[in-house]
Chains A and B, each alone.
Chain A
Amino acid sequence: MSYVLGFEEITKASLPVVGGKNASLGEMLSAGIRVPPGFAVTTRSYVEFITEAGAGEEISKILAAVNPDDVTSLDDASTQIRKLIDKAPMPPAIANAISEAYALLSKKCQSKELPVAVRSSATAEDLPGASFAGQQDTFLWVRGIEEVLEKTKSCMSSLFTARAISYRIKKGFPHEKVLISVGVQKIVDAKAAGVMFTLNPLNGDPSKVVIEGSWGLGETVVSGQVNPDKFVVDKIVFEINERIVSPKTIECKYEAGKGVIHCDVPRAQQNISCLEDKEIIALVKVAKQIEDHYGCGQDIEWAIEKDKPFPSNIFIVQSRPETVWSQKKKEPLLGKKTAYELLMEKALSQVKISS
């Protein structure tokens, strides 16, 4: 196993080595979906890093002493462990591998120091989702190898947030078994971004793609900071059934010297749809492609890159299985009726037309 794998080398079989998020990105890339290029820092890197830093034993000691029901105890343990990890030096072999990968990536994207997103990608299925792996499992607009290495370590250390520690102890999950990978991916300088579901999250209707989006980077939509535009599209006939343009007052963007900031959207732009119809339809087509590839409902993050021509400006940043409706018990909606029974029902019915 290598320390680093490019997305183009990754498929879903790579999950134990690169975690769910990275495996998904590699898989989509192999299916011909436009995913921003990048690489994964493998679980081997994590294990060797922790081992060589001698942190493994130290961490075990701290964890053994934790009282899982005491919040302060958890917080203390977490702080200690994370400091340990952040301070520990990355083994040269690993640091070199990451450096090379980053340099290659920057060159490929015609940049001296490519702005990237650094994200943790958990491996175990029963490891809780993003909200448990840590509040800061995504770092945006990371530039230069030093920062990349620094943020990589931060992602790794986010395995040890108080909540994550508590969860694992309660579940009896040994910490040595929990592995993490880190994804380093070109950041899309987004004109507009957001999420989409390959079903209607309100009612589970599988014939729709529901898109939510706003100006700038997708963080505002994902984190719920903004009222996004919403488009409900029938993905069989490609008709936009519902179109809600919301006043979009804040956007998240990169500003030189400041980094990623939240700022006000100019008045004139607030009430304009963040997506054109052709972009909406293109997104729906990609969503369908992803859903067909995985064979189940998907929860997808997308971004439209600035200053790039349509349709090569449309990127998929992430996709994961939709978890709400796929878990629900499937009940028949039509009441097991035959056509004649339905006809009888209709024949007996009256349309209420008064308000």
Chain B
Amino acid sequence: MAKEKRFSYAREVKIPKELEGWEEMYPPHRLFSGERQQWEDTQFWYQDKIHAPEPMPPLDEIFHQAWQISLAQHTTRIFCIPPAQGIAQRMVGCYMYICAITPPPEAVIKEKAELFPKRTFPVFGNYDRLWDQWLPKFQALGRELAAIKVPEELPKYMPDFDSATTLPSVSPAHELLEAFNNSVNIMYRGWQYHFNLLNLTYLAYLMFADVARKLFPGISESAIGKMVAGAEVSMFRPEEELCRLARLAHAEPKVANILKTDRPAASKIGSLREIDAGRHWLEELDRIKDPWFYVSCGSGWFHHEGAWYNKLDVPFGYIKSYVERLDKGEKIERSLSAIAEARDALVNEYKKLIKTDEDRKSFEDAYKNVRSIYRYAEDHLFWVEHWFHAIWWDKMREFAKLFVKRGVLKDVGEFFMFNRLEVPYLIEDLANSWALGENIPTLKWSEKAQKRKKILEAAAKWNPPPALGVPPEVVAEPFTVMLWGITTDKVQDWLAGVAVRPEQVTELKGFASSAGVAEGKARVLKLLEEIATLQPGEIMVVGNTNPAWAPVFSKIKACVTDIGGLTCHGAIVSREYGLPAVTGTGTATSVIKTGDIIKVDGDRGIVTIVKRAKS
């Protein structure tokens, strides 16, 4: 690449002065530094818009800290994927940048090539057994996290004890510290588990995609995805449960009538409690709440997003619309067996076209291989990023409540302004202030939190560069290619688009995730709560979707997202509903405005702004 065709280095980036002090929010090893500059300059860094599209609240950084180690180790030290190395992370102006580390020396690649087949091939043949081990192991870890006792108060005097028989070993202050350290250890362990099977899943997908493209040149990613995607996966259970609850309600007119009113969920629950059928229905809800309502209202990566079980207005809103549709005699469930049958029929049709027996055998083998493992990509997402993270935030809020009670922090949200290495300082400071005596001051943590909140708000208004450094010649790391879709075109687009302002953009490129072309009015939704503003037949433009958004798809004409590839939730559900979708555009929610007339070409992955709304 020509010397001038590069992005700024991190140190050259002009960070707005409103972000001054941002560096203190993150641990030192997570920043670009002079100490590692020589190495850092040789890598190509791009903003991770999939997992960190927003400015990073310090405590929420923990997941990324954990996955940096885990993703990489599975590639380099466990499965030894020959030319691939890990994905490194750095923070710049509160945004996270990642890079696929360039391949190791030839000698190392050769060593790994020996180890790789021995370690990976057996996984495919034994996936079901491995999954049957993994899931209970992971669920046990989540329950361990949930069971951690966080002291609700630091009492003036410890409760009375019989000094003749039992002396208190430790105090709640110590328990507080232990509880937090244990929580952090469990979180890191959970992310270790997360990658136990994932890297191979992506490798298998890429291999199968190659096979499909060799046999059927020009086959779309969406067609490949249709052949591979599972229908019976954990990610779809939450919506299935919604449908089931809606049907239960529909069968009981009194319950249905309460649910159909326009009231907050809490008020509806109050009314339901007053009648037998209502109590019965609520019991059913409670029974499935954990785990199926532990689905995030957002991506699952940020503490402020909430989940269905603690933002009941969201699922109750969906249930209301489902009951209304049942009134009209409509079908509300997606038939998963029909989806599976359609998928199998599709594969058979392609298979029939294969000309030689040898190719057919290879295709069948490759398909069996990817199908054996691919459901992990879809299953793990629910258990880790939704269920496990939901438990984590509940736990963190317990810590936060104590700080608020003690007057150290003003509100629960301030707790998340400190990263996981700083929280022990707060805890120790609080522990000391309690232990040392009366009216012992702590540091002004709340002030610090307020300052950081403002920095994050300023960072949200800033448009960070899409990439840093010199684009590489080759990329070997499977996640980078598949999940982030780093291709020559993408890099070229970034290089070209760095100077363009949002208002000037007329066309966006992304993944052609679901076939078809649709034109209509755009509705840009930044938060799940805004869903109520969506009018039927509009085109939804969002950062990302996940199971919490599923019921929306029956209303919309097409779907556009900032992040996500062919296998993201928005892509899968769009295909099921037969809606055009373009995902992973990077900037849709910042470039498109509600009211704009846009054209979504799901065949080619292009979104065109046909007419701007009058401002």
Contacts and interface: CB of A to CB of B under 8 A. Distances in A.
Interface of A: 200, 203, 205-208, 232, 234, 236-243, 277, 330-340, 342-355
A339 B603 contact: no
A240 B603 contact: yes
A343 B203 contact: yes
A207 B350 CA distance: 7
Contact of A334 (B219, B346, B358): B358
B474 A339 contact: no
Interface string B297-314: 000000000000000000
B204 A234 contact: no
Contacts of A338: 362, 365
Given A205-B218, A348-B83, A350-B83, A336 B358 contact: yes
Interface stretch (B86-94, B113-121, B581-589): B113-121
B365 A353 contact: no
Contacts of B116: 344, 347
Q: What 5 A-B pairs have minimum CB-CB distances, sorted nearest first? A: A339-B369, A339-B365, A346-B207, A350-B474, A350-B476
B548 to A, nearest CB: 28
Interface in B176-221: 203-204, 206-207, 210-211, 214-220
Contacts of B206: 346
Interface stretch (B231-239, B249-257, B487-495): B487-495
B63 interface: no
B366 A353 contact: no
Interface string B369-380: 100000000000
A237 B223 contact: yes
B515 A237 contact: yes
B615 to A, nearest CB: 32
Contacts of B120: 343, 347
B429 to A, nearest CB: 48
Contacts of B211: 334, 342
B222 interface: yes
Nearest to A334: B362
B356 A331 contact: yes
B565 interface: no
Contacts of B217: 200, 203, 205
Contacts of A232: 218
Contact of B358 (A200, A206, A239, A332): A332
16 contacts: A200-B217, A203-B217, A207-B216, A234-B216, A234-B218, A243-B604, A330-B356, A334-B362, A336-B361, A343-B204, A344-B117, A345-B207, A347-B84, A352-B473, A353-B475, A355-B488
Nearest to B602: A239
Nearest to A202: B217
B520 to A, nearest CB: 16
A100 B82 CA distance: 78
Given A347-B81, A347-B82, A337 B362 contact: yes
B369 A343 contact: yes
A349 B121 contact: no
Contacts of B349: 236
Interface in B410-451: none
Contacts of B288: none
B368 interface: yes
Contacts of A237: 220, 222-223, 226, 346, 515
A352 B488 CA distance: 8
A240 to B, nearest CB: 5
B495 to A, nearest CB: 11
A297 to B, nearest CB: 11
A349 B84 CA distance: 9
B359 interface: yes
Given A340-B121, A347-B84, 19 more contacts: A236-B353, A237-B226, A238-B515, A331-B356, A332-B356, A338-B365, A340-B117, A340-B369, A342-B210, A347-B82, A347-B116, A348-B83, A348-B109, A351-B476, A351-B481, A352-B473, A353-B491, A354-B473, A355-B488
A237 B349 CA distance: 10
A334 B356 CA distance: 10
Contacts of B1: 354-355
Interface of B: 1, 81-84, 103, 109, 113, 116-117, 120-121, 124, 203-204, 206-207, 210-211, 214-220, 222-223, 226, 346, 349-350, 353, 355-356, 358-359, 361-363, 365-366, 368-369, 471-476, 481, 486-488, 491-492, 515, 517, 603-604
Contact of A347 (B203, B218, B369): B203
A349 to B, nearest CB: 7
B362 A336 contact: yes
A339 B473 contact: no
Nearest to A330: B355
Contacts of B113: 344, 348
B17 to A, nearest CB: 35
Given A334-B211, A342-B362, A342-B366, A234 B471 contact: no
Residue among A200, A205, A337, A349 with most chain B CB within 10 A: A349
Contacts of B491: 353
B414 to A, nearest CB: 43
B207 A339 contact: yes
Nearest to A354: B473
A340 to B, nearest CB: 5
Contacts of A343: 120-121, 203-204, 207, 369
A206 B353 contact: yes
Contacts of B365: 338-339, 342
A352 B492 CA distance: 14
A351 B356 CA distance: 28
A336 B368 CA distance: 16
A234 B219 contact: yes
B213 to A, nearest CB: 10
Nearest to B84: A347
Q: Which of B210, B358, B472, B488 has the most CB of A within 10 A?
A: B358
A200 B218 CA distance: 10
Contacts of B203: 343, 346-347
A237 B476 CA distance: 30
Which has the most chain A C-beta neighbours within 10 Å: B81, B83, B218, B492? B218
B471 A354 contact: yes
Contacts of A348: 82-83, 109, 113
Nearest to B603: A240
A58 to B, nearest CB: 51
Nearest to B512: A239
Contact of B476 (A243, A330, A334, A349): A349
A345 B369 CA distance: 14
Contact of A352 (B226, B474, B517): B474
Nearest to A325: B355
A185 to B, nearest CB: 32
B8 to A, nearest CB: 19
Q: Which of B84, B219, B369, B486 has the most CB of A within 10 A?
A: B219
Which of A200, A203, A240 counts the most B-chain CB atoms under 10 A from its CB? Answer: A240
Contacts of B82: 347-348
B472 A354 contact: yes
A239 B346 CA distance: 13
Contacts of B220: 234, 237, 239, 241
Contacts of B215: 205, 207, 333-334
A238 B602 CA distance: 12
Contacts of A333: 214-215, 356, 359
Given A336-B358, A343-B121, A355-B492, A234 B475 contact: no
Contacts of B210: 342, 346
Nearest to B220: A239
Given A332-B356, A334-B359, A343-B203, A277 B517 contact: yes
A241 B218 contact: yes
A242 B488 contact: no
A16 B218 CA distance: 41
Nearest to A347: B81
A353 B350 contact: no
B356 A208 contact: no
A354 B214 contact: no
